[in-house]
Structure 1
């Protein structure tokens, strides 16, 4: 099982659209895919379920919020696997391929979960017991060890555009980090900073690991997840990205971060309409966008087959 976090500090870069389409594309290729929505906006959730479906069937007891909220409050723990849902419309289109797509939904109040996690890690200012640190930062990683997740080929985690404890727990659980970005100044400037923050998290985590007895229970040291950038919302002229966009693409590549060869064109009308029907654009009738997305999925499979960097 490959765990991939999709992350960028900047919102509006196509992060959720990319997560939904890669997941659906993998399912159509016969892969067993789980999507986890960790963004309080819940856009990934609403890409597959209507507002009424979410309110009636998911919001009260079947979102990731209820699971994170039990991190330190003493209540009976909810198993992460109990939250798995199967979006009907997208799965009707991949039926017969051997693949399927499941989802763990988000909640609009997930933003309030940060306070609960913070109190679980640091009940007294300046004092962070290693055992509590590991418990919270490994929460998603430990949850995914449940045998119910062994059937999945890929887990895609849609992260919020921040670096809070929920996002950190996703990074700790991940072998790979996929970084969607528009080729512009605001969207690309945080990539290098994100790399430093991940580096700091890995170092901090391993210091706490060395201080806790959990290491004797075969908890591995954390390796830096394998990163890659995907350029989104790209505008073309005569077959090439517009001149100013090419400048930012070159700047990102100069950072040394691997970049996908496939770049996703700016097709707002196509992508904006897809969530209304619960079917990502990659599964729509033949058009240039779906072909481009399928090419991206092929490249994604090659990338995730590589060994993460230490």
Structure 2
């Protein structure tokens, strides 16, 4: 049985309930994508999650959001100058293959990869986008009109893990994968808000996106009886002028809340600010875009 919880307050209570668990990945699988999922903090419970979550938090504590913003702005200026392609998927571009990544998909991953010490960080966005498409379930995922098979994600996982130099390779890659689609969707949503109201501030555009069309629309939990709870992460009643973006439901709640809201917001704001300054097309993102894949980000 599957139940969707609508009230944001009830969603927060469920996210804090220790009796609710996440579906676990298979560490004994022959597939690299599934073993990677099992090595992350996202698809384990109990002590294994707590230990990995603590390592993630320590890794993130070493990353300065201001420095991430500087790098993201620099990369965006370079990408913006080199390309006149739309920064957010349009009706035509949502059917494109992952070989044609938008700025919103490339920059956050490349920026984080550089600061996490990955070799050749410019290669990571393509690899991570392929992994992210299969990450929620470990099986084939639809991308526009094409299909990214699990074997493509298997190959991408192997190459991406080999590029990790410092820290825990699987957890570092998890940070890239879980930021990939979610941060892209946050940027795209903010650009759509700016397109609708050009005078709006970047901060307000980001907050409106978090509240009204969260980058990760929902997450799931399983109760002790095996029933599945779908927990939407939007809160349309949130006030864009008063709320602290880092505390919004879009970043989750409880022990699995996103540990890096400040990092995500810093990167997203830097990208949006540069694109606004450069006068790039601010195209609205279709709500069915793969950058809004439920479960791809959010929980950690």
**Higher share of residues assigned helix:** 2
Higher-Rg structure is: 1
**Higher share of residues assigned strand:** 1
Report the TM-score when normalising by structure 2. Answer: 0.26
Report the TM-score when normalising by structure 1. Answer: 0.25
